[in-house]
Amino acid sequence: MTWKIIADSGCDYRQLARPAIDTTFVSVPLTIQVADQVFVDDASLDIDQMMETMYATAEASKSACPSPDDYLRAFEGAKNIFLVTITGTLSGSHNSAQLAKNIYLEEHPDTKIHIIDSLSAGGEVDLLVEKLNDLIDQGLSFEEVVESITAYQEKPSYFLS
């Protein structure tokens, strides 16, 4: 059984330190447009160059979510797929992922895909990815992982400092 955990680049991870057995992690980048330059939010992003470009222009920067095609490519090669997106209230990433899921399942009806709206633009995305990896590592079925991650997401989190 092959597993894939996918997250848009609202997640800070570009790879998992210890992926569960038969599990692959894929980060699907958002893009940032500054003036006439497009910066891809992946491991090769030159943040200093992007910031320099931002400071040099008076134009507002724009961001774009991954396209359904970006997600379709990320789905390839796994039978059990979990995708975590930045909150749907700030980005179209969740809608793009849902569209890709519907298209993919038409051609791959035996694949299982669960899309998770993180309801966050911060560390919650990372926590959900880590929890998914842990649940898969425990040997749970796809349905059990869905049930557990849903319960985990609904449980209040408290951070004390």
Please provide the size of the chain in residues. 161
CA pair distance 83, 60, nearest whole angstrom: 30
pLDDT in tens, 96-134: 999 999 999 999 999 999 999 998 887 888 899 999 999
CATH of the domain at 12: 3.40.50.10440
Strand, helix or coil for residue 17: coil
* β-bridge mates for residue 26, sequence order: 6
pLDDT in tens, 28-65: 999 999 999 999 998 899 999 999 999 999 999 998 99
pLDDT at 90: 81
Q: Verify that 104 and 71 share a domain, yes or no.
A: yes
In a domain, 130, yes or no: yes
| Long-range contacts of the stretch 134-141 (C-beta < 8 A, 24+) | 134/20, 136/3, 136/5, 136/20, 136/23, 137/20, 137/21, 137/23
The two structure tokens encoding residue 103: 């298209």
In a domain, 143, yes or no: yes
